[in-house]
Amino acid sequence: MYRDWQEEKVQKMSKRQEDIEDKIEVADALTVKLLQRFNYSVSAMKTSSQHLSEVHALQVEIGELKGRLTEVISNCDALCRRISMEGPESLRSSIKPFAVGTADQEIQSSSSDLQRDLNRSLPSAETKLD
């Protein structure tokens, strides 16, 4: 009778041990999957960070180019006004001054379009998690 009780206890303990081992295997598999997702997220963040640092440099360069372009347009506008006031008659009728405000708006519009396109092209971390 004692032996039966002892065997029953051994079987219960073996069953519990198997259950615990199964749970450990499941936890290990989940840990591996979580680690893979974490590594992908880190990689995506590094890539995004690099892209953003490149965007900042491009924004600075675009700002400089915008300043130069505004200066060129202003000079062209001044030249056109001078030709229309003091230039030969043959040129006066064909000259129309530039509108600097319009050029600024077009530059800002194209700059915001560029920013929008860059935001769309950045990879989404959610799309590659599985």
Q: Which residues contact 37 (CB under 8 A, 6 or more apart)?
A: 129
Domain count, the chain: 1
- 43, part of any domain: yes
- 130, part of any domain: no
Angstrom distance (rounded) from CA 99 to CA 102: 5
Full residue range of the structural domain in which residue 91 is found: 2-122
pLDDT band at 99 (very low <50, low <70, confident <90, very high): low
Angstrom distance (rounded) from CA 14 to CA 75: 90
Which of 82, 63, 67 has its CA nearest to residue 55?
63
User: What is the model's pLDDT at position 110?
Assistant: 59
User: Is residue 130's pLDDT more than 50?
Assistant: no
- 95, part of any domain: yes
User: What is the model's pLDDT at position 126?
Assistant: 43
Yes or no: say if 53 and 68 are a contact pair by the CB < 8 Å rule: no
**pTM (whole model) above 0.75:** no
